[in-house]
């Protein structure tokens, strides 16, 4: 899950319910619509290690992996442990700091901003409902297509029900006065995601552990195009030592 952009982070902001939840490693935390409807967010799961469902998804990843809306970094850390080239991005400074502290590589960046390795990522992840980022699924899918190498893989976690909605929401713990700034968000079931995925090749859909996923493959380049590089050069917010033939992170 991502949160709205904020100023440079110099410590946990007690008025930021998302940062407070990550600091505590637990909720309650909700997305609240303007009509008062609440969507519970699974902070405890996000702050824990990757679970069997997560690991099965990560088994499907190809090439270098970009985790969009990486949150506290459980997937980034799991992929790094496997020796994979992986970068997390999140607009929440608290999420990025948490990921880096656990040993993952992450940048505080929106998916719609310039990113390292554009057009060369093997897999982009939109987990934990992050197909909703920006509240415009078509624009998000178009941006992901720009990030992927030709024929690259998008793996998205969709809503457990068939839904297609966009709304202004904010983050809240629904218990105190801590309320985040409003932002646009979307909720998509798999059928809705596939309707928006014009120009993508369906690459599978599945449900496990009460969670639903869909995989899409981007258009392949023509045979005359230059072959994509096998890995993306990524940036980090900390130094790393070169290891073998793995890419060296830029600062």
Q: What is the CATH number of the domain that holds 93?
A: 3.40.50.150
- Domain-embedded: residue 243: no
> Residue 133: its pLDDT value, please?
97
Mind listing the pLDDT tens digit for each residue in 2-53?
Answer: 433 322 222 334 468 999 999 999 999 999 998 989 999 999 999 999 999 9
- Domain-embedded: residue 150: yes
- Domain-embedded: residue 43: no
Token pair in block for residue 249 = 């992170």
Which of the given ranges, 8-22, 94-108, 212-226, has the highest pLDDT on average? 94-108
- Domain-embedded: residue 17: no
Query: Can you give the residue range of the structural domain that contains 107?
Result: 50-164+185-217
pLDDT above 80 (res 237): no
Residues 6+ apart with CB under 8 A from 35: none
CA triple 55-126-180, angle to 5 deg: 115
pLDDT above 50 (res 185): yes
- Domain-embedded: residue 28: no
Helix or strand holding residue 33 (H, E): strand 30-33
> Residue 74: its pLDDT value, please?
98
Mind listing the pLDDT tens digit for each residue in 127-173?
Answer: 999 999 999 999 999 999 999 999 999 999 999 999 999 999 999 99
Number of domains in the chain: 1
In this structure, the strands spanning 164-172 and 183-188 are antiparallel
- Domain-embedded: residue 86: yes
- Domain-embedded: residue 172: no
Mind listing the pLDDT tens digit for each residue in 44-94?
Answer: 999 999 999 999 999 999 999 999 999 999 999 999 999 999 999 999 999
> Residue 81: its pLDDT value, please?
97
Count the neighbouring beta carbons within 10 Å of the beta carbon of residue 104: 25
Count the neighbouring beta carbons within 10 Å of the beta carbon of residue 236: 17
- Write out the DSSP string of 133-157: BTT-HHHHHHHHHHHEEEEEEEEEE
Nearest to 24 by CA among 163, 175, 222: 175
> Residue 26: its pLDDT value, please?
94
Assign residue 61 a region: left if phi > 0, alpha if psi is -120 to 50, beta otherwise?
beta
Percent share of the chain, pLDDT over 90: 75
- Domain-embedded: residue 16: no
Rounded Cα distance, 17 and 172, in Å: 6
Rounded Cα distance, 58 and 66, in Å: 12
């Amino acid at each position: 899950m991502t949160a709205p952009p904020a100023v440079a982070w110099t410590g946990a902001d007690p008025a930021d319910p998302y940062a407070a939840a990550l600091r505590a490693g637990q909720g309650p935390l909700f997305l609240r619509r303007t009509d008062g409807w609440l969507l519970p967010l699974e902070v405890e799961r996000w702050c824990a290690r990757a679970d069997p469902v997560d690991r099965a998804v990560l088994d499907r990843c190809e090439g270098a992996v970009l985790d969009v809306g990486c949150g506290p970094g459980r997937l980034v850390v799991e992929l790094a442990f496997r020796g994979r080239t992986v970068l997390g991005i999140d607009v929440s400074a608290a999420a990025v700091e948490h990921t880096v502290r656990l040993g993952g590589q992450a940048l505080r960046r929106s998916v719609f901003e310039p990113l390292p390795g554009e057009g060369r990522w093997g897999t982009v992840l939109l987990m934990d409902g992050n197909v909703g980022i920006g509240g415009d699924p078509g624009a998000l899918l178009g941006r992901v297509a720009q990030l992927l190498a030709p024929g690259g893989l998008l793996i998205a976690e969709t809503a457990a029900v068939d839904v297609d909605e966009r709304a202004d929401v904010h983050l809240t713990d629904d218990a105190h006065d801590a309320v985040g700034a409003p932002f646009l968000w979307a909720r998509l079931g798999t059928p809705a995601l596939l309707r928006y995925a014009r120009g993508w090749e369906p690459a599978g859909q599945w449900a496990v552990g009460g969670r639903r996923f869909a995989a899409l493959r981007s258009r392949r380049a023509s045979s005359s195009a230059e072959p994509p590089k096998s890995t993306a050069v990524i940036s980090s917010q900390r130094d790393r030592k070169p290891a073998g033939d793995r890419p060296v992170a830029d600062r």
